[in-house]
A and B are shown apart, each in its own frame.
Chain A
Amino acid sequence: MNFNINRGPLLRGVAIVVFFAFVALVLIPAYVPRPAFIPGFAPPPDMWPRTVSITGIVLGLVVIVGALTGRVAPQDPIDTDGGSSKTHLMRFAAVVLCFAGFIVLVPYIGFLLSTALLTGAAIYLAGERRHWILALAISLLGPVLLISFFSSVLGTQFPMGALTKPFGF
């Protein structure tokens, strides 16, 4: 089923302008320090990010004008399972939660267990229900095999968890 999402050209233009304006007016003054002394005629560190941000603002304004005058490029429809926008939003929120959960969990339960959980969650969220034995094997054995490979071949030391350290991972 095709899902013809209205990606809001006007909103998109506004978002672009707001983002680049935020960078130019807030982030650059706060996070791009200018040294007290610049040798010769070398352009300062904020020259390039400022130029790019201003260009971005102008481009955003052009997108807004295009949206207001109806000059919008065609958008390809997205192929979906026919779920509602609310369902899609919930699924997206679940993905973001899983990613954030992974980052939060690594210091506590280690890289091995966190990747196993994230992989299992990703397979489940993707809707896989038929090959559940394979899914379980990938989630559990996959990280073990990869950690053995990277540790032995490259000598990579993966982070252990504060709670799982006594068990060796």
Chain B
Amino acid sequence: MLTEILSAFQAVATWQNLLIMTAGIWGGVIVGAIPGMTGTMAVTLALPFTFYMAPVPSILLLVALYKGSTYGGSVSAILIKTPGTASAACTALDGYPLAQQGKAGKALNMALYSSVTGDFISNLSLIFLAAPLAILALRVGPPEYFMLMLFALSTVAGVSGNSLLLGVVSASLGLLLATAGEDLYGSFRFAFTDDMQAGLSVAPVLIGLFALPELIKLIVFRAANRDVAAKLGDQQVTRAEFMGSLKSILRGSGIGVIMGAIPGIGPSAAAFFSYGEAQRSSKNGENFGKGELEGIAASESANNGACGATMIPLLALGVPGDVITGVMLGAFMIQGLTPGPLLFQTNIHEVYMLFIGMLMSSVLLFGAGKMTMRMFSYVSHIPQTLLTPVVLLLCLFGIYSISSSMFDVTILLIMGVVGFLMFLMNIPAAPFLIAFILGPMIEENLRRALAISRGDPMVLLSSPITWIFAVLIVFVVGLTIRREISKSKTRKA
């Protein structure tokens, strides 16, 4: 194995391959940082270029774009509260308050360190644990999916702010909105117009709910110092701060690897899950949502941790876990490679080259992140009265370009108004978004599980995996209720 790895390293470490990966990482970071532009878009756009490339560099280019865009999503989440990708939504919860406190550089650094760590661990897992994780992923059926997603939904407790009750109300609104469109068996629900038949896309809901309320707040309340540029402040993450977040980074990376290996879950759910866990176990749990570096670390390590792991079912089983790996499957096929168990027998040299290239891309991600950080940080210098309308402009163009649909632009603006009204009613937006993303997965798997069991709800407790999650859910709910009672007593005292 060692000889093969060394041989693969020699084949990958050429200046052409390094240039391709560097271009992919930089391109991905920039695309991810632009509101409305997604990693899927970047990977799809790059696909035609891979036709003229050798198999391994072409896949590495796509992987680099994927990784870069996942990290890039955190940049806009931190600086302008506009997550470039859904998986960076939790990053915005702590990153933006830190940017407002003049610590944008510190937040970006923590996002980079945790992203690179998560990515590196994910790549190592891909190399050493691909087979067992793929087998585990195969054992996850609808009941297990449902319980896992239900557990991920318990993150809502951590992002509910002052009131858990209003957080759950917000999550219910998100779950309800997610039901719009065609369901599992072809019924069109809440299809008020023809456009509604396809349901609502994540991007306009996400950006509308997070970015636009900031503009409306700025216009309506015109807070003091609105036209004064924020200071960059202290930039570096100290050793103590990094070590204080290390536990969350490692746990987040682990969560990312496991959830990324299960087809259909992806980085967003992993980031929510990791954030919730970090908040529950951290001694600074009360500071989450107010500018806590550990929150950024938990979210970013998990979403980047999931990136490499999404390749596990693709390579080991030939099953694409999400849209991006679906595009990559296409790239493999175009290059004459067929992902699946046979790939490890017929093209083992290419597989090792891919592994080595992915490890190298972690290092390149660090370099690109460091170099672009200073450039992105200057966004904080622009006065809010100019910056926020520019964000609106970027959002309008970005959202329209995703599906060439004015319907999505309308949803973006409506969700902006909804987000502002929720703010006035003290209803937090983050639980809404988490539920909106997880909702379809929860419902689909619940209905599938019930259909398989001929309506018997006990199917939800039919395997050891479901039992583990059931116990975890009970534990978390119990802990949350206890914490709420204790908070209520403190308030009264």
Check A128–B227 contact: CB distance below 8 A.
Answer: yes
Least Cβ–Cβ distance between B9 and chain A, in angstroms: 34
Q: In the complex, what distance in Å separates the CA atom of A73 from the CA atom of B427?
A: 11
Check A127–B389 contact: CB distance below 8 A.
Answer: no
Check A126–B426 contact: CB distance below 8 A.
Answer: no
Check A40–B393 contact: CB distance below 8 A.
Answer: no
Check A63–B169 contact: CB distance below 8 A.
Answer: yes
Residues of B within 8 A of A43 (CB): 446-447, 450-451, 455
Which of A49, A94, A131 makes the CB contact (< 8 A) with B176?
A49
Which of A99, A125, A153, A154 makes the CB contact (< 8 A) with B413?
A99
Check B389–A56 contact: CB distance below 8 A.
Answer: no
Which of A32, A76, A118 makes the CB contact (< 8 A) with B162?
A76
Check A62–B165 contact: CB distance below 8 A.
Answer: yes
Check A71–B488 contact: CB distance below 8 A.
Answer: yes
Least Cβ–Cβ distance between A136 and chain B, in angstroms: 11
Given contacts A73-B166, A138-B389, A157-B404, contact A45 B172 (CB under 8 A): no
Residues of A within 8 A of B189 (CB): 31-32, 45-46, 49
Q: In the complex, what distance in Å separates the CA atom of A56 from the CA atom of B455?
A: 24
Q: In the complex, what distance in Å separates the CA atom of A78 from the CA atom of B410?
A: 28
Check A31–B215 contact: CB distance below 8 A.
Answer: no
Residues of B within 8 A of A52 (CB): 172, 175-176, 179
Residues of A within 8 A of B172 (CB): 20, 52, 55-56, 59
Check A126–B187 contact: CB distance below 8 A.
Answer: no
Check B45–A126 contact: CB distance below 8 A.
Answer: no
Q: In the complex, what distance in Å separates the CA atom of A96 from the CA atom of B219?
A: 11
Least Cβ–Cβ distance between A94 and chain B, in angstroms: 7
| Interface mask (B149-185 → A, CB under 8 Å = 1, otherwise 0) | 0000000000000110110110011011001000111
A interface residues, how many (CB within 8 angstroms): 81
Residues of A within 8 A of B401 (CB): 150, 154, 156
Q: Which of A109-136 contact B (CB under 8 A)?
A: 111, 115, 118-119, 122-123, 125-128, 130-131, 134-135
Q: In the complex, what distance in Å separates the CA atom of A52 from the CA atom of B188?
A: 17
Check A102–B413 contact: CB distance below 8 A.
Answer: yes
Residue A166 CB within 8 A of the other chain: no
Check A41–B454 contact: CB distance below 8 A.
Answer: yes
Given contacts A95-B220, A138-B390, contact A127 B385 (CB under 8 A): yes
Residue B224 CB within 8 A of the other chain: yes
Q: Which of B403-440 contact A (CB under 8 A)?
A: 404, 406, 409-410, 413, 416-417, 420, 424-427
Check B219–A91 contact: CB distance below 8 A.
Answer: yes
Residues of A within 8 A of B74 (CB): none
Check B166–A7 contact: CB distance below 8 A.
Answer: no
Q: In the complex, what distance in Å separates the CA atom of A102 from the CA atom of B392?
A: 12
Interface size class of B (residues with CB under 8 A): 35 or more
| Interface mask (B433-467 → A, CB under 8 Å = 1, otherwise 0) | 00000000001001100110111000000000000
| Interface mask (A42-73 → B, CB under 8 Å = 1, otherwise 0) | 11011111001101100110110010000101
Chain A residue at minimal CB-CB distance from B450:
A43
Check A80–B221 contact: CB distance below 8 A.
Answer: yes
Residues of A within 8 A of B175 (CB): 48, 52
Q: In the complex, what distance in Å separates the CA atom of A95 from the CA atom of B383?
A: 20
Residue B218 CB within 8 A of the other chain: yes
Residues of A within 8 A of B450 (CB): 41-43
Residues of A within 8 A of B488 (CB): 71
Residues of A within 8 A of B165 (CB): 59, 62-63, 66, 73
Given contacts A59-B168, A138-B393, contact A127 B227 (CB under 8 A): yes
Residues of B within 8 A of A55 (CB): 172
Least Cβ–Cβ distance between B197 and chain A, in angstroms: 11
Which of B176, B390, B447 makes the CB contact (< 8 A) with A42?
B447
Chain B residue at minimal CB-CB distance from A91:
B220
Residues of A within 8 A of B227 (CB): 127-128, 130
Residues of A within 8 A of B386 (CB): 123, 128, 131, 134-135, 138
Give residues in B with beta carbon < 8 Å to A: 41, 45, 162-163, 165-166, 168-169, 172-173, 175-176, 179, 183-192, 215-224, 226-227, 383-386, 388-390, 392-394, 396-397, 400-401, 404, 406, 409-410, 413, 416-417, 420, 424-427, 443, 446-447, 450-451, 453-455, 488, 491
Give residues in A with beta carbon < 8 Å to B: 1, 3, 5, 7, 12, 15-16, 20, 23, 27, 31-35, 38-43, 45-49, 52-53, 55-56, 59-60, 62-63, 66, 71, 73-76, 78-81, 83, 88, 91-92, 94-96, 99, 102-103, 106, 111, 115, 118-119, 122-123, 125-128, 130-131, 134-135, 138, 142-143, 146-147, 150, 153-154, 156-159
